[in-house]
C-alpha cells in the first residue's frame, strides 16, 4: 500500500499506573505489540505516558525520572524486533533542565526527541513548576540511555522510500497556541502530525477539541493523530477521558470511546499522496511564511498493510449527512447564479429544451427557482419539446406535463422533417444510423433553441452536466452549446438526488411526473425505439455506469490520483457491484474520452461552479487537447 502513499498510523491510550514507569512500560509494550500485529507502522502514546501527567511535584524527584529512563530501556529492549515506529511520552533531562518530551524509537534505537514548546500555567495547569519550554533549550543533542540523539521541535521523520510519508510531533498545549508548531512542521513537508496530549474533560470541551483538531488538520492539509491521557490519571481535581482522534485534511477518519479503564488502540490508513497533491493545488499554502531550519531523520516505515483500513464513498459527490440542507444549498447556488445573470440581462426570458430526462428536468427546476427568487412569472420560461426519431411517448409526455405543471410556456417543434431535409442535402442515406445521424438531431435542436432565443430576446439555458462534459458525451456545437449553463458542475449521480429531493418536497401531478422521470433510463433518444415504442438507446450501455465514471472523475480531479491507484480504490469500493474486469474496462473508456474530448471543454459557455470540481477552461481545468494517454492505458492494462 505504500506505493499508493498509504501508511497505517495509530494512537494508544495505555491503562496507567500513576507514577510507576516500569508498570506503564509493560502495558505500553503489550499495546505496541498489538498495534504491530494490526499492521500499524507509526503509533503514539499520550503525553507523559510513562509516568502519568498528574504526578505533580514527583517530577522533581530523581527516582521518578530515573525510573522513566529504566522504563524506556525496557521498551527499547522488548520492541527491538517489532516493525513499528513508536512515539513515547516521558520526561527527559537535558543540561539542568527537565522537558516534557516525545521520544521516537524504532528497533531498539532512539531516533529523536521532541520537547513541548508551550507550557500551560493557568487555571488548573501548573506545568512551569516542573518543565522547561523548548524555547529555552540550548542543546541540539542529548545523551539518553547511552545514545546521543537529536532533541528539537524541528525534527522531521521522513521515510527513505516515499518522501510523502513524513511525520512530525507537537505536544498538547502546542496545538492550543496561537501559532502551533505543526504549522511550521507542515510547511516544511510533514504530512502526518502526532500530538501527545493530556486533555482533561469538562463539559463542552470534547466538541471544542474535535473542532480544534479538525481545523488544524485542515489548515495544515495533514493527517493529525491525537492521543490523550485516560481516566487512570489522578482525579484529585480533574478527570481525563483518553480521547483519541485521527483526522485527514479536516475529515474525521477514526476515534475511540472515551472514559475507558482498559488500554485501547485506534488506527487507520492515511493517504499521504492525496495530502501532497492538495498542497500543490493550494498556492496560498506554499506562500506562507515559515522557518525552514529543520533536521531530517530518515526512517524505514514498514509497509505491512494487507487490506486497506478505510472505505471510500461510491457516490463521492453526494453528501452522506445533513442531506436536505446540502441539497437546498446546491439548488440555491444554481438558482442564484442564474438569477444574477438574468438581472444583468434585464430579466430576459429563458429558453430550455425539454427532453423528459433528468438533466433538462433539473435545469428547468433551477430556472423556476430563479424566477421565484426574482418574483417573475413562469410564463417567461419557454420549455421547448422537440420530438425526433428516437423520442418515446413516455419522455415526450413527461416533458409536456412538467412544463405545464409549473406554469411555463410550452412550445412543440418536431425536428424530423428538418433533419430528413438536411440528410438529403448532405447526401446521408436515410437508413444511416451513424454518429452523423445522431448529431444532426442534436444540432438541429440547438439551432431551434438559439433561434427562438433570438426571436424572444431570451437566452438558452444549457442542461448538460459535469459527467457528460468529462466524457465529452455531447455533440460539439449541439447540446454542447448554450448561452448559460446551470448543470455544468453537477455530476450525473448528484442530478438524480437533487431531482429526487425536489420530488419529495412536491405533491400531486408534479410529484407524479418527477417520479416517472426518475424511473426513466438515461438516454439521448437519438435512435428509433423498438416496434412497441420502447427506448433502445441507453447511455450507460454505451459508455459505462455513471456511478463508476463519477468515482473516477472525483479522485482524478479532487486528489490528482493516478489511474492505477483509482483502479485499486475502485476495486475496493465496488467489489460487490462490479468485477475487476468491468471496472478496468470502463476506466479505460473514461481515460480515452476524458483525454480526447478536451477540445469540447475548451469551448463551453459560462456555467456555475457548485462543488469542489469544475471543468471550466476559465477556472479549474486547463489541459491541452492533444495530451497523450497511450502509456497510461498500457500501464493500467498490466495492473492486476
Q: Looking at the annotation, which residues are catalytic? A: 47, 116, 172
* CB contact set of 410 (below 8 Å; sequence gap of 6+): 383, 384, 385, 400, 403, 404
DSSP string, 226-277: EEE--TTS--SS--B---EEEEETTEEEEE--SS-SS-EEEEEEEEHHHHHH
Q: What are phi and psi of 295, to 5 degrees?
A: -100, 125
Kindly list the distances between the CA atom of residue 118 and the CA atoms of 100, 171, 181, in Å, as whole numbers in the listed order: 10, 8, 9
C-alpha cell at position 399? 416533458
C-alpha cell at position 183? 504549522
DSSP string, 128-182: GGT---GGG---SEEEETTEEEEB-S-EEEEESS-TT-EEEEEETHHHHSSS-HH
Strands, E, within 14-108: which ranges? 42-44, 85-94, 97-106
Task: Compute CA 612 distance to the chain's CA centroid, rounded to the nearest angstrom.
Answer: 9
Pairing of strands 141-144, 147-150: antiparallel
Pairing of strands 166-171, 192-197: parallel
CA–CA dist 143, 376 (Å, integer): 78
Q: What is the residue whose three cell numbers read 468529462?
A: 470
How deeply is 230 buried, as exposed, middle or buried, from its count of CB atoms within 10 A (0-12, 13-18, 19+)?
A: buried
DSSP 8-state class, residue 522? P
Kindly list the distances between the CA atom of residue 592 and the CA atoms of 84, 225, 375, 597, 598, in Å, as whole numbers in the listed order: 42, 40, 45, 8, 11
C-alpha cell at position 413? 417543434
DSSP 8-state class, residue 4? G
Q: What is the CA radius of gyration of the chain?
A: 31
In this structure, the number of other CB atoms found within 10 A of the CB of residue 537 comes to 17
CA–CA dist 428, 156 (Å, integer): 68
* CB contact set of 172 (below 8 Å; sequence gap of 6+): 47, 116, 120, 195, 196, 197, 198, 199, 228
Question: Is 470 within 8 Å of 594 (Cβ atoms)?
Answer: yes
- Residue 434's SS3 state is coil
Q: Which of 285, 274, 282 is nearest to 251 (CA)?
A: 274
Helix (H) or strand (E) holding 7: strand 6-13
Q: Provide the edge-to-edge strand list for the sheet that holds 155-159.
A: 251-255, 244-248, 223-228, 192-197, 166-171, 155-159, 295-299
DSSP string, 300-347: ------SS-S----SSTTS-SSSHHHHHHHHHHHHHHHHHHHHHHTTS
Q: What is the residue whose three cell numbers read 500530538?
A: 195
CA–CA dist 144, 148 (Å, integer): 7
Amino acid at each position: 500500500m505504500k506505493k499508493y502513499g498509504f501508511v497505517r498510523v495509530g494512537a494508544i491510550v495505555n491503562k496507567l499506573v500513576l507514577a510507576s514507569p516500569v508498570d506503564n512500560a509493560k502495558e505500553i509494550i503489550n499495546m505496541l505489540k498489538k498495534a504491530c500485529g494490526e499492521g500499524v507502522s507509526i503509533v503514539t502514546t499520550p503525553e507523559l505516558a510513562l509516568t502519568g501527567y498528574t504526578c505533580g511535584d514527583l517530577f522533581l524527584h530523581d527516582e521518578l525520572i530515573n525510573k522513566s529512563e529504566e522504563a524506556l530501556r525496557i521498551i527499547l529492549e522488548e520492541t527491538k524486533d517489532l516493525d513499528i515506529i513508536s512515539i513515547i511520552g516521558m520526561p527527559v533531562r537535558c543540561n539542568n533542565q527537565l522537558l516534557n518530551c516525545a521520544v521516537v524509537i524504532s528497533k531498539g534505537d532512539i531516533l529523536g526527541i521532541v520537547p513541548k514548546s508551550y507550557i500551560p500555567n493557568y487555571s488548573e495547569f501548573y506545568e512551569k513548576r516542573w518543565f522547561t519550554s523548548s524555547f529555552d533549550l540550548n542543546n541540539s543533542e542529548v545523551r539518553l540511555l547511552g545514545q546521543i540523539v537529536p532533541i528539537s521541535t524541528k525534527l522531521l521523520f521522513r521515510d527513505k522510500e516515499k518522501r510523502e510519508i513524513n511525520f512530525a510531533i507537537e505536544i498538547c498545549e502546542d496545538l492550543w497556541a496561537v501559532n502551533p508548531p505543526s504549522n511550521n512542521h507542515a510547511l516544511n513537508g510533514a504530512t502526518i502530525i502526532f500530538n501527545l496530549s493530556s486533555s482533561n474533560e469538562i463539559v463542552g470541551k470534547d466538541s471544542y477539541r474535535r473542532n480544534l483538531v479538525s481545523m488544524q488538520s485542515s489548515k495544515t492539509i495533514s493527517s493529525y493523530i491525537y492521543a490523550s491521557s485516560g481516566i487512570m490519571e489522578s482525579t484529585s481535581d480533574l478527570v481525563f477521558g483518553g480521547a483519541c482522534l485521527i483526522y485527514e485534511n479536516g475529515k474525521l477518519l477514526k476515534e475511540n470511546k472515551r472514559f475507558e479503564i482498559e488500554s485501547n488502540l485506534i488506527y487507520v490508513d492515511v493517504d499521504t499522496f492525496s495530502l501532497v497533491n492538495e498542497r500543490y493545488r493550494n498556492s496560498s499554502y506554499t506562500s506562507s511564511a515559515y522557518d525552514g531550519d529543520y533536521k531530517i531523520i530518515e526512517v524505514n516505515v514498514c509497509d505491512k498493510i494487507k487490506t486497506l483500513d478505510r472505505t471510500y464513498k461510491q457516490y463521492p459527490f453526494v453528501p452522506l449527512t445533513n442531506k436536505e440542507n446540502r441539497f437546498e444549498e446546491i439548488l440555491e447556488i444554481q438558482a442564484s447564479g442564474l438569477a444574477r445573470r438574468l438581472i444583468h440581462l434585464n430579466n430576459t426570458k429563458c429558453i430550455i429544451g425539454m427532453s423528459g430526462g433528468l438533466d433538462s428536468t433539473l435545469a428547468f427546476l433551477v430556472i423556476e427557482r430563479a424566477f421565484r427568487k426574482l418574483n417573475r412569472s413562469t410564463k417567461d420560461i419557454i420549455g421547448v419539446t422537440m420530438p425526433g426519431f428516437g423520442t418515446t411517448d413516455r419522455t415526450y409526455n413527461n416533458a409536456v406535463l412538467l412544463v405545464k405543471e409549473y406554469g411555463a410556456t410550452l412550445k412543440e417543434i418536431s425536428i424530423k422533417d428538418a433533419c430528413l431535409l438536411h440528410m438529403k442535402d448532405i447526401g446521408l442515406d436515410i437508413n444511416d444510423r451513424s454518429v452523423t445521424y445522431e448529431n444532426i438531431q442534436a444540432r438541429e435542436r440547438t439551432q431551434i433553441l438559439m433561434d427562438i432565443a433570438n426571436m424572444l430576446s431570451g437566452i438558452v439555458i444549457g442542461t448538460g452536466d459535469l459527467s457528460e462534459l468529462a466524457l465529452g458525451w455531447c455533440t460539439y456545437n449541439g447540446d454542447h452549446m448554450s448561452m448559460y449553463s446551470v448543470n455544468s458542475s453537477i455530476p450525473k449521480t448528484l442530478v438524480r438526488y437533487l431531482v429526487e429531493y425536489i420530488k419529495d418536497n412536491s405533491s400531486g401531478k408534479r410529484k407524479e411526473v418527477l417520479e416517472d422521470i426518475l424511473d426513466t433510463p438515461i438516454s439521448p433518444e437519438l435512435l428509433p425505439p423498438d416496434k412497441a415504442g420502447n427506448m433502445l438507446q441507453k447511455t450507460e450501455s454505451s459508455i459505462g455506469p455513471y456511478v463508476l465514471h463519477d468515482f473516477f472523475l472525483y479522485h482524478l480531479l479532487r486528489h490528482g490520483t493516478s489511474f492505477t491507484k483509482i483502479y485499486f480504490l475502485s476495486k475496493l469500493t465496488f467489489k460487490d457491484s462490479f468485477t475487476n474486469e468491468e471496472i478496468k474496462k470502463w476506466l479505460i473508456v473514461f481515460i480515452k474520452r476524458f483525454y480526447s474530448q478536451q477540445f469540447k471543454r475548451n469551448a463551453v459557455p459560462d456555467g456555475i461552479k457548485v462543488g469542489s470540481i469544475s471543468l471550466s477552461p476559465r477556472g479549474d481545468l486547463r489541459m491541452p487537447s492533444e495530451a497523450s494517454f497511450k502509456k497510461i492505458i498500457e500501464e493500467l492494462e498490466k495492473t492486476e
